[in-house]
A and B are shown apart, each in its own frame.
Chain A
């Protein structure tokens, strides 16, 4: 693979998969916080 293709692969995969993992972790933490709060039932 060429250097340009490797860099592009890292940037695109990093952004998309990294973004997905980042938002997933934020959601998990938020849910953990909400479940420890007794006010969050609906």
Chain B
């Protein structure tokens, strides 16, 4: 397999990147967050941050990958100098840590799809099913299965990723659309639409709504994760950047909107009395306990439940594939052949996903630590872009030959000024929030979801990266590669 691979077409790149962006967060987090943060008012803020966080950062990622032609470490060095390897290392480690527990989540989706298909999952037994499954050895097996599928795709290189994306992403769109249409045609669904879209203008004065909208964009579009950068390595040199970024950003949020309509219309049509309990049940509670119950009470519900979990599985797998490719690409840059790199990634991921597969509290803690870590990743992209020169990046890379939608200086301003402010404000806000969750032990590094655990784990990773910074630079720039 050549290490100088390319996507066969623009559509291959777009579908693979859309697959990366559309994940479980679109389907299980967005409906919950919009329902608990002011409905229509939240959507206004969510659209604003699509334009001043997600799309600008996606353009940065595309330009780094296209110019650097290496994984996150090599591209950060190419763009911001030899001393910037640790920044790319942080972005990679953050995405890798997420991959370790995301494989568990993908395994859950596969298990629920299989159970729905076989008829073993019903509205009556969903709580019992979840409690006996989550954190068990079976969850580890399904996590290993999800990882194996992702590894199998990445094994065949970027053309393998392209082929799979061309099947899974259109299928995912069709399934989410079908489920949304079914949901809005249920009696009583209009109340769900009212709840989702009713604007409460006074809520726009609440800073919390804006911060939640920014967080949703940061977590569900994949901007700043390093995954778009990784796919951009394989784009053609005369390929457009801005139009692709807008297409992916709007495509991702289109799926979120469909998922919001699908979930909230179903909730309001089937069990409006329990709506607060349902949207407050957390990601897993909503998806794996309440949704089967709602489908169980819907005419033809089993049929739609199968498609719901199949869509969720596709969303999870395409994102997991991108995460596996990110790490694989860095190992390729360090001198390994693709297939050897894929095996190493598979074995390491299998080992490090085990604690999350066997313990929900461990998984939630990792989700907390590295979810906030993504905001630091976004900040590092902005810093690296400033080192290269944001305006130079716009002229030389973003608006270069082949560009279909030249962007103006507004982007330079957003990346130089707005994105760093957003990232810093978000990090401080989330850590401040966490202080209130457990006021007595918020600095304890061994407490789950504490500020202390975030700072301790970040410190370990950052110190290691800074110590290894010079070595990282040598390895990925080929000076020390075998």
Q: Mark A residues whose CB is within 8 Å of B.
A: 1-2, 4-6, 8-9, 12-13, 15-17, 19-20, 23-24, 26-27, 30-31, 34, 40, 42
Is B246 within 8 A of A23, CB to CB? yes
Distance between B131 CB and nearest chain A CB, rounded to angstroms: 37
Chain B residues with CB below 8 A from A5, complex form = 40, 193-194, 197-199
Report whether over half of chain A's contact residues are helix, strand or loop; otherwise say mixed: helix
Distance between A12 CB and nearest chain B CB, rounded to angstroms: 5
Is A9 within 8 A of B10, CB to CB? no
Are A27 and B199 CB-contacts (below 8 A) given A8-B43, A17-B257, A42-B237? no
- Complex formed: what's the CA distance from A16 to B253 in Å? 7
Is A30 within 8 A of B257, CB to CB? no
Chain A residues with CB below 8 A from B10, complex form = 27, 31
Among A16, A24, A31, point to the contact of B257 (Cβ < 8 A). Answer: A16
Are A30 and B240 CB-contacts (below 8 A) given A4-B198, A42-B6? yes
Chain B residues with CB below 8 A from A31, complex form = 9-11
Among A2, A9, A12, A42, point to the contact of B47 (Cβ < 8 A). Answer: A12
Q: List 5 A-B contacts (CB under 8 A).
A: A5-B193, A5-B194, A9-B197, A12-B40, A42-B6
Taking the complex as formed, is B251 at the interface, i.e. its CB lies under 8 A from any CB of chain A?
yes
- Complex formed: what's the CA distance from A22 to B404 in Å? 13
Is B257 within 8 A of A13, CB to CB? yes
- Complex formed: what's the CA distance from A16 to B252 in Å? 9
- Complex formed: what's the CA distance from A17 to B253 in Å? 8
Is B40 within 8 A of A8, CB to CB? yes
Taking the complex as formed, is B388 at the interface, i.e. its CB lies under 8 A from any CB of chain A?
no
Chain B residues with CB below 8 A from A34, complex form = 238, 402
- Complex formed: what's the CA distance from A34 to B403 in Å? 11
Chain B residues with CB below 8 A from A23, complex form = 243, 246-247, 250
Chain A residues with CB below 8 A from B215, complex form = none
Chain A residues with CB below 8 A from B246, complex form = 19, 23
19 further interface pairs, Cβ-Cβ under 8 Å (given A4-B198, A16-B253): A1-B193, A2-B194, A5-B194, A5-B197, A6-B197, A12-B40, A12-B47, A13-B257, A16-B47, A17-B257, A20-B253, A24-B247, A26-B404, A26-B405, A27-B10, A27-B240, A27-B244, A30-B243, A31-B9
Which 7 interchain pairs have the tightest Cβ spacing? A42-B236, A20-B250, A8-B40, A9-B197, A23-B247, A5-B198, A19-B250
Among A1, A12, A17, A26, point to the contact of B194 (Cβ < 8 A). Answer: A1
Among B9, B197, B253, B254, point to the contact of A8 (Cβ < 8 A). Answer: B197
Chain A residues with CB below 8 A from B251, complex form = 20, 24
Is A27 within 8 A of B243, CB to CB? yes
Chain B residues with CB below 8 A from A16, complex form = 47, 250, 253-254, 257
- Complex formed: what's the CA distance from A24 to B239 in Å? 15
* Binary CB contact string for chain B from 178 to 212 against chain A (1 if under 8 A, 0 otherwise): 00000000000010011011110000000000000
- Complex formed: what's the CA distance from A19 to B245 in Å? 12
Taking the complex as formed, is B169 at the interface, i.e. its CB lies under 8 A from any CB of chain A?
no
Taking the complex as formed, is B165 at the interface, i.e. its CB lies under 8 A from any CB of chain A?
no
Distance between B245 CB and nearest chain A CB, rounded to angstroms: 9
Chain A residues with CB below 8 A from B44, complex form = 12
Among B6, B199, B247, B254, point to the contact of A4 (Cβ < 8 A). Answer: B199
- Complex formed: what's the CA distance from A9 to B257 in Å? 10
Chain A residues with CB below 8 A from B349, complex form = none
- Complex formed: what's the CA distance from A27 to B10 in Å? 9
Is A8 within 8 A of B199, CB to CB? yes
Chain A residues with CB below 8 A from B6, complex form = 42
Is B238 within 8 A of A42, CB to CB? yes
Among B198, B239, B402, point to the contact of A2 (Cβ < 8 A). Answer: B198
- Complex formed: what's the CA distance from A6 to B197 in Å? 7
Distance between A29 CB and nearest chain B CB, rounded to angstroms: 9
- Complex formed: what's the CA distance from A34 to B238 in Å? 10
Distance between B132 CB and nearest chain A CB, rounded to angstroms: 39
Taking the complex as formed, is B14 at the interface, i.e. its CB lies under 8 A from any CB of chain A?
yes
- Complex formed: what's the CA distance from A5 to B201 in Å? 12
Closest chain A residue to B201, Cβ basis:
A4
Closest chain A residue to B50, Cβ basis:
A16
- Complex formed: what's the CA distance from A42 to B13 in Å? 15
